[in-house]
Every structure is written in C-alpha cells, then in structure tokens.
Structure 1
Amino acid sequence: MKAAFILLFSLIGTGALASDIYTFKNLEGNIMLSNRQPDEKKFTEIKKIKIDDSAYENWRYSCSKDRFNGQKSCSLNKAHSDVMVSIFGGRHSVYIGRNHFPRTQSAIKIDDNSPIYGYEGSSNTPQKVIEQMKKGKVAYTRYKEWPYEYNQDGETDLTGFAEKYDEMLEEYKKL
C-alpha cells in the first residue's frame, strides 16, 4: 500500500494530472496504477480513483513578513502558468516565464489588448498589466528561455484572478 501511495503521489506531483487514477491487476496478480485505462485485455480494473485537480487550476497566493527587517511580500500565481504577480515592499511586479535568455525581451498580452513588454521576464508597467488581468479572460505570454533563443509562448486562463488578487492585497495589509 505504501508503494501505491508513493506512485499515486508521483503521478500527481509530476504534472501527469488526470481526472482519474486507475488501479489494475494483471494475470499474475500484480497491481498497477495508471492515469489512463490500458487497452489490453490482460488487465482487470479494481478501482477508479477520482482526483480533484481543481486545486491545481486555481490562483494561489503566498505572503510573508521578514523577521529581521519587517519587509512584507506576497506573490500570486497559478500552477503550470508563466505569470506571477508580486508585491514586495509596497511595489508591484509582474513576472513572465523562467530561466530567461540573457538580455531578451518578454511580453504579456491580455485578450485583444496591445502587448506589454518587459526585460527578462519583468514587466516595465506592472500596474497596467494587473489592471488588464483583473478585467481579462486570457493572458498570452512570450519570452526566451535559456539556453535556447527562440520564443516560449504560453496561455493562462484569468478566471478567478481578480478575486484572488484582492484577497492577496488584504492579506498583505494584515502582515
């Protein structure tokens, strides 16, 4: 059972999310876990486990206060997304992507608005981006990731962003 739990955790933790995990027994009596149903007839399904992966699809924030200097910070992001919004020392920032190719431009485009550019992932006008994200439906991102110098394009659903952003601001004020 311990091995099955570790494997189940591995399937969830590595991004191989599915809405179901299937437990099978083969002809020799060995049990296996899979995130999809095998086509072969030599497996007998024992149990289907429903996974609530909605937590991976929602916006989440994290806040902290430095114990030494009292500096407050919060960040808001969505799993498997290239967009992060932060407040650090009262200043807002919007960060796109990761492991940027040195000295390259990055961009975010909310719905049909004009692209907003930045440098190595940091937006030049974070307040403008945040206001568009609060009203928008989809954020399109583009940056260049090291060691490749070609575009990495992403798309993030903005459903729930405005509410979580406001919650994060309230939490920041309480710190």
Structure 2
Amino acid sequence: MKKIILLVLLLLSEPAQAQKIYVSDDASNDVSSDKELPIELKYKTYYPDWSPLEWNYSCSKDKFNGQKSCSLNKSHSNIMVSIFDGQHSVYVGRDHYPRSQSAIKVDSNAPIYGYEGSSDTPKKVIEQMKKGKVAYTRYREWPYDYNQDGEVDLTGFAEKYNEMLEKYREL
C-alpha cells in the first residue's frame, strides 16, 4: 500500500513553532499521527516535492474556462516567474507602493525595470535568469517609500523553469 507523507507546520504569531509529520493512506485518506511512523522518519523533516532552499513551482487549470497557469518561485525570495494562459510574467516584491518602479538585475547585466513589481520585458528577464548566477531585486513596499533590496541565488532556476513549462504543456 502506497503511503503519502504530509508535513504540517503549525504557525503561530512567530515563525514555525512546531513541525509534525503525518501519514495518509491513498485509498482511505485516513491520517495517523507520527507515532506510527518508522523511527527513521520521526525526527526528520520531509518535503515531498517542495524545498525551502530550491526553486518550486505549482500549476493549475481552471475547471470552468480551461485557463492554464503555473508559477515558479523560491521561498523567502522577492521573485516569482509565471505563465498564465500563454503569457509570461516576472514579478518582483509584494505590497508595492502605489505607482512605484521596480527592477531586477541579473549578474552584471543592465537592470530591467517594471512598474509595481511587474517586468516590462519578462522573456528577457527569464532568459537572463536561466543563464545567470544571482538576481538582485529592488522595489518599494507599502506603506514605506524606500527601496527594498533583495538577492536571489539562481542555482537550479533553468531546470525548474523548463520542468514547469513541461507541466504547463501537459495541463
């Protein structure tokens, strides 16, 4: 019988305070506590298809209109790359200050600017990210009107981006 391991993070007002591993049986969807796990799994954190240090993507297809979408990002980074109904986008930051400029700079390339987080030339940014080592970001977050700068390691980006595109095609 195939088992699925789920990680549940209990979030309080501070960062994750506790982690608990559960096992779910595919057929019945019964969930049991970690007491039934083998000893080698009881004290390890397991991420089935997600890693906080790696690039991760998610894809979906709207059941009503058939629109497909995928997004790719790295946990705790200021960059998200997505494709929605055939259109690519690169998004920098969050909660943008109204009418503010944002930018991304890959390695020593010239900065590429956008408006409130959206890149004006997403395909150009994506091509640079696929070949690059590090991306630098800048945006202005509401309610503060000063630069929020970030740096994101691009290791593994090209492979995950190509994997995401393949999943998008399969939807």
- Structure number with greater Rg is 1
Partner of residue 125, structure 2:
129
Cα drift, residue 9 of structure 1: 4.2
Cα drift, residue 55 of structure 1: 1.5
**Structure 1 CA distance, aligned partners of 2:135 and 2:111?**
10
Report the 3-state secondary structure (helix = DSSP H, G, I; strand = E; otherwise coil) of the residue aligned with 1:95: strand
**Structure 2 CA distance, aligned partners of 1:118 and 1:168?**
24
Partner of residue 69, structure 1:
65
Cα drift, residue 51 of structure 1: 5.2
Asked whether 1:116 is paired with 2:112, we answer yes
Deviating runs (4+, > 6 A) in structure 1?
none
| Identical amino acids, percent of aligned pairs | 71
Gaps of 5+ in 2: 1-7, 18-42
Partner of residue 59, structure 1:
55
Report the 3-state secondary structure (helix = DSSP H, G, I; strand = E; otherwise coil) of the residue aligned with 1:57: coil
Report the 3-state secondary structure (helix = DSSP H, G, I; strand = E; otherwise coil) of the residue aligned with 1:81: coil
Report the 3-state secondary structure (helix = DSSP H, G, I; strand = E; otherwise coil) of the residue aligned with 2:103: strand
Partner of residue 148, structure 1:
144
**Structure 1 CA distance, aligned partners of 2:145 and 2:134?**
25
Report the 3-state secondary structure (helix = DSSP H, G, I; strand = E; otherwise coil) of the residue aligned with 1:56: coil
Gaps of 5+ in 1: 1-5, 17-48
After the TM superposition, which residues 88-103 of structure 1 pair with which residues of structure 2 at under 5 Å, given as runs? 88-103=84-99
After the TM superposition, which residues 6-85 of structure 1 pair with which residues of structure 2 at under 5 Å, given as runs? 9-10=10-11, 14=15, 55-85=51-81
Partner of residue 171, structure 1:
167
Report the 3-state secondary structure (helix = DSSP H, G, I; strand = E; otherwise coil) of the residue aligned with 2:169: helix
Greater fraction helix: 1
Structure 1 residues 138 and 15, CA gap change in structure 2 (3 angstroms): farther
Cα drift, residue 57 of structure 1: 0.6
**Structure 2 CA distance, aligned partners of 1:80 and 1:15?**
14
**Structure 2 CA distance, aligned partners of 1:145 and 1:132?**
25
**Structure 2 CA distance, aligned partners of 1:71 and 1:52?**
32
Cα drift, residue 14 of structure 1: 2.0
Partner of residue 40, structure 2:
none
Contact 2:10–2:16 (8 Å) recurs in 1: no
Give the residue type in structure 2 aligned to 1:113: N
Report the 3-state secondary structure (helix = DSSP H, G, I; strand = E; otherwise coil) of the residue aligned with 1:87: strand
